[in-house]
Structure 1
Amino acid sequence: MPRQLQLRCFDAKRPEEDRLVIIWDWLMPLFWGPPPGERDFVRLSTIEEFVEKNLRFQKCKAVAGDTCSCGKKPNEVVSPGQSPNHYEHRVSKVHGPLYRHGDRAPLSSYPNDPYNDVARYWPRGYGQLSEIGEEQHYRLGSYLRQRYFDLLPLMYNYNDTHIRSTDVDRTLASALCNLAGLYPASNTSRVWPHVAFQAIPVHTETQDHDHLLKPADYCPKYLKVLSYVESSKEYQCVMNLTAQLQKEVAAFAGYSTYTSDIYDILFIEELYNLTLPSWVWSYYPNPLKSLYLFDGFITWGSTTELQRLSAGPMLKEIIENMQRKINGTLNPDRSLYVYSTHDDNVVNTLMALKVFNGILVPFASAVLTELRALNNSYYVTVSYKNSTETEPYLLQLPGCDSLCPLDQFVELTKEVIPDDLDTECAEEVTAGTEYLFQVPAAAILPEWEHCFQKPKSDDGLFHFLSVKTSSK
């Protein structure tokens, strides 16, 4: 039973199974909401039935090739619904979930868009979190409550959890909805009898000063390196192959100049069951989807230098928090640091860790970077939860096991960790510097493949390209 469980409504005169009922708020981490057929209270028989069907956790947990004392093999001791490779030993120390905001309205409309009546089609406004997005993040927060239940008290405390968001409405709103699931309201946390929530702060910085989650937006060196990548023969090859496509789509959409964001607008409109114009189907979903991914995401984090100046600051904070947790200098001594961000943050982070699969990031997806302790040693696991309906996928960084020793994780990521962001952003780019342009093979259309070198790795996960800066 959860700590501080409150019992209510004991009445010996009632039928035996109804003599004692329990406030269901305390059981939210188990049920993800009110149990079916129940309102304010839960019968003990309901709890017993739920536990019997859903919470048969093994007491013996095997990790990374070890065998438990009970004789079980590693993949035989997972909980129902878990991936066999999910490390379910409850000895986690500190976590850094990074997630994308939930479902939203399109960021804008295109000039000839039949659905540009904002009040009618997007009543909350362009770019705003939708009710679907609210639910997605409530469910994700409820999942995180289940995952970290043994580390986080049910009542929010400043010393346990810190939430950081970009200064954008949809990420701030997503963080609040996520917290409603992570810290479900209980009877003792209700200031007003009929208002069920815990008031939890979400921290942010204005975008032009957000050196943690949006550092590239103000970094001159990042913009310079990006311009070199965009002038490379590989990038220009793709642009030339799609030049006619871009011209035609721009004309249909009413743009003077093509923007790859047209894909996002069409995607959202289709998602909301709006009938797309007939011209769209010659270009959508592909090649517009692949061009949107290539031009708007992969290119932005395609080199180690770009990753260092975009995802690097956040990865640096996560690693430093892990190290401080271990040596006892983390103050406050928190267990959870949460980052509410965007799809480009997720892509840049996965690319920096060399585990991006070349697929657009769904709403409310999360990267879970977790410090774990085992036999007096410390390890890092990285998992990718790309659906609120499924368990996370445990990822394996190139050069390390899925359960990666912390020291090895630090070594593998050191090239994308900036020493001092302000200093590096102010640096001039040395003429002739060579950069490695990384493109996930899954993101490349067959007709684009001749623009790139063949993968150097046997798994075909990446195309490796060398791009030299201008000698100007």
Structure 2
Amino acid sequence: MRLKAPRAVIAVAALANVLSVAACRELQHVTVFWNSGAYSPMYTETNGLSFLTPYWVHGAGTMTNEGLKQSYALGQYLHNRYAQLLTQPCYKGALYVKSTDDDIAISSALAVVAGMSPILQFDKWNGSDTAWRPIPIRVSSPNDDDYLSLPKGGDEYNSLRDKIFSSDWMTDYGNNQSDLFQTLYDKTKMTWNVTNIYKIATDVLMIRQQPTLSLFSSILGGDDVIDALQQVYSIYLGSLFTDFSGQYTTAVSKLQGGVLLNRVVQDIQSRANVSRTMPILTGYSVPTTTMVGLLVTLGNYDWVAPDMSSAIMIELYSNNGTYQIEVYYRNGVSTINPLRIYECNFSCPLENFTDIAERFLAADVGGGSSSNATADVNGNDDSSDDSSITACDGILIGFISALAVMSFLSIGVNIYLLVKARASKKSKTDGR
């Protein structure tokens, strides 16, 4: 009699093999950049809109209740998207958040973290009315090299920016917006052009974000004027980092977004090279200009300014000893868009992603070692080897153990059936 494994055992073994391969694609780390929710206008005293100042009870340049809700909702989205990383209350080493030294960015960081880290019942510290626990927020010191605030100044960058804004294309574009600029002049008695449009655009767009003040849009000529203003504002933001033809993208990125991207890559490499028992989520609360600079460097700025509470998510996955990067862009509350980074596939091998980032690294910018990059983020040196079993290893070991048990059971069942068959055959022979 030929030994034959039961079909159920074969089916389970095949399923285990498939699941073991799928299970090994594990999210290891996420780096998230976001801008703030809506805030009160900050240039009303210098852009002809001073009559709006009394309506902002917390003062100019502070997050509104609407903006706090937007940032909190972004935090809730991140909590749901990365639930596997945030299954426990966020303690040191699980969540790292850093903000630029700006009141709006800091307030946004606090609101996002509150939405990202809802506390459990046992962890409430001020009765049932406070479902929030303070999470440390790091802030860039004014004396530090604040790589999170873009654009950064300097003679080389200023020269490139001037070339962009004085180009024939920009001159023609500005001339085509003469009707808009005239309308703004009629309303504010101030002269406007592409280079200074941000001083009125940011305030007007913030007014549009405030439902109770939507009536004031009519003061500037209605929604058509504001829509046109937003388009010019998007062109202005993009032109801080590139031109429409892309001629200056690499040169500017080496001074701006490329510096930031390579800092991120250094941190990702350190996490890929060191086995960890728990993935890390790193969040950066930054100005909208930094979001645009990073999108330009990644080759994905579509000349539409990021909405309030937008996010760029750079995800690191491990798969059987290899690492891939996936990048997603959430523009406000719109659909999440996966980003293709230049010639790399959507799921980009870490080595290829690193090569792309290095294209935008200036020759005189020091990179530092991977261990230093980790110390910068976590506040400690994480260069030592960690021999703990990873989640993927644990799953594989579990499947192998299960298959071994099933194999032994299969052999036992077949031996039993063989012995029983021989006994039955002998019984029939003796009966004859």
**TM-score when normalising by structure 1:** 0.64
Distance 1:112 1:349, change over 3 A: closer
Matched, 1:358 2:303: yes
Q: Is the 8 A contact 1:164 1:203 kept in 2?
A: yes
Q: Is the 8 A contact 1:252 1:279 kept in 2?
A: yes
* Inter-partner Cα distance in structure 1 for 2:84 and 2:311: 20
Aligned 1:2-401 pairs, distance under 5 A: 69=18, 91-109=26-44, 116-119=51-54, 121-194=55-128, 195-207=130-142, 209-214=144-149, 216-243=151-178, 245-256=180-191, 258=193, 259-261=196-198, 262-272=200-210, 273-277=214-218, 280-281=221-222, 284-302=225-243, 303-328=249-274, 335-388=280-333, 391-401=335-345
Q: Is the 8 A contact 2:151 2:240 kept in 1?
A: no
Distance 1:401 1:275, change over 3 A: same
Distance 1:315 1:288, change over 3 A: same
Q: Is the 8 A contact 2:187 2:219 kept in 1?
A: no
User: Secondary structure in 2 aligned to 1:264?
Assistant: helix
Shift of 1:111: 6.0
Shift of 1:251: 4.1
Q: Deviations over 1:351-393 (max 9, x none)?
A: 11111222121111100001111232110000011234x5521
Shift of 1:191: 2.9
Residue aligning to 2:385: none
Query: What's the C-alpha RMSD, in Å, of the aligned pairs?
Result: 3.0
* Inter-partner Cα distance in structure 2 for 1:199 and 1:399: 42
* Inter-partner Cα distance in structure 2 for 1:346 and 1:180: 22
Q: Is the 8 A contact 2:24 2:318 kept in 1?
A: no
* Inter-partner Cα distance in structure 2 for 1:286 and 1:323: 42
User: Secondary structure in 2 aligned to 1:216?
Assistant: coil
* Inter-partner Cα distance in structure 2 for 1:98 and 1:345: 9
- Greater helix share, 1 or 2? 2
* Inter-partner Cα distance in structure 2 for 1:132 and 1:298: 29
Tell me which structure has the larger Cα radius of gyration.
2
Shift of 1:420: 4.4
User: Secondary structure in 1 aligned to 2:139?
Assistant: strand
**Equivalent pairs: percent with the same residue?**
21
Query: Which structure 2 segments of 5+ residues have no match?
Result: 1-16, 244-248, 368-432
User: Secondary structure in 1 aligned to 2:301?
Assistant: coil
Distance 1:125 1:420, change over 3 A: farther
* Inter-partner Cα distance in structure 2 for 1:320 and 1:348: 18
Counterpart code for 1:325: R
Shift of 1:144: 1.5
My pick for the range that moved more, 180-189 or 239-248, is 239-248
Counterpart code for 2:66: I
Q: Deviations over 1:101-133 (max 9, x none)?
A: 1121222226685663423x1112222111122
**TM-score when normalising by structure 2:** 0.70
Q: Deviations over 1:203-244 (max 9, x none)?
A: 112456443112533433222221222222222222333356
Greater RCO, 1 or 2 (C-alpha within 8 Å, sep 6+): 2
* Inter-partner Cα distance in structure 2 for 1:113 and 1:89: 59
Distance 1:410 1:265, change over 3 A: same
Q: Deviations over 1:273-321 (max 9, x none)?
A: 2233455249613432222211233343442222222222221121111
* Inter-partner Cα distance in structure 1 for 2:265 and 2:278: 15
Residue aligning to 2:353: 409
* Inter-partner Cα distance in structure 2 for 1:169 and 1:249: 29
Q: Is the 8 A contact 1:207 1:214 kept in 2?
A: no
Q: Is the 8 A contact 1:112 1:252 kept in 2?
A: no
* Inter-partner Cα distance in structure 2 for 1:208 and 1:214: 13
Distance 1:156 1:257, change over 3 A: same
My pick for the range that moved more, 411-420 or 159-168, is 411-420
Counterpart code for 1:149: A
* Inter-partner Cα distance in structure 2 for 1:277 and 1:151: 46
* Inter-partner Cα distance in structure 2 for 1:159 and 1:277: 50
Q: Deviations over 1:407-452 (max 9, x none)?
A: 11112222223454489xxxxxxxxxxxxxxxxxxxxxxxxxxxxx
My pick for the range that moved more, 290-299 or 121-130, is 290-299
Distance 1:253 1:208, change over 3 A: farther
Residue aligning to 1:3: none
Q: Is the 8 A contact 1:98 1:368 kept in 2?
A: yes
Counterpart code for 1:260: I
My pick for the range that moved more, 357-366 or 201-210, is 201-210
* Inter-partner Cα distance in structure 1 for 2:203 and 2:52: 14
Counterpart code for 1:357: D
Distance 1:421 1:150, change over 3 A: same
Distance 1:105 1:282, change over 3 A: closer
* Inter-partner Cα distance in structure 2 for 1:238 and 1:224: 20
* Inter-partner Cα distance in structure 2 for 1:179 and 1:135: 12
Q: Is the 8 A contact 2:151 2:293 kept in 1?
A: no
Counterpart code for 2:272: I
Counterpart code for 1:406: L
Counterpart code for 1:146: N
Q: Is the 8 A contact 1:301 1:310 kept in 2?
A: no
